[in-house]
Amino acid sequence: MSDEKTEQTARQMDKDFFKRTDAFIKVANELAKEHDLGKVSASMLYAAARFNAFIVASSAQDKAEADRNKVEAIEYFTNQYRNMLLANMDDYIEKYDEYLK
C-alpha cells in the first residue's frame, strides 16, 4: 500500500486522523530530546499495544469474549502496523534526502 493510498484511506475514515497522529509524533519528538530514539520507539510501541489491548478487552461483554477476540485482534493490529510501517518506510526511502538531509 503506498503512502498516498494510506493517507487517502485515513482521511476518508476520519478527518482528524493526522491531527492525532501528529500529536503523538510531537510527544515522541519531545521525549527524543532527552532519551534514546530506540527507547522512545519501544515506549510508543508498548503504549499502542497496551491501549489496543484495553480496546479489545473493554469492547467485550465479558472475560471469555475478550479471550475469544484476542487472536483476531492481534491479527488485525499486526496487519495494520505492518501496512503502515511499510508505507512509511517506502515514503522515507523515496524522500530520504528531503526528510533527512
Query: In CATH terms, is domain 3-100 a member of 1.10.287.3020?
Result: yes
pTM, rounded to two decimals: 0.82
Per-residue pLDDT, averaged over 32-57, amounts to 98
Average per-residue pLDDT in the chain?
92
How many percent of the chain have pLDDT more than 70? Answer: 87
Per-residue pLDDT, averaged over 14-41, amounts to 96
Separation of alpha carbons 85 and 91, rounded Å: 10
Q: Which phi and psi angles does 63 have, rounded to 5°?
A: -60, -40
Radius of gyration of the chain (CA): 16
- pLDDT recorded at residue 15: 84
- pLDDT recorded at residue 27: 98
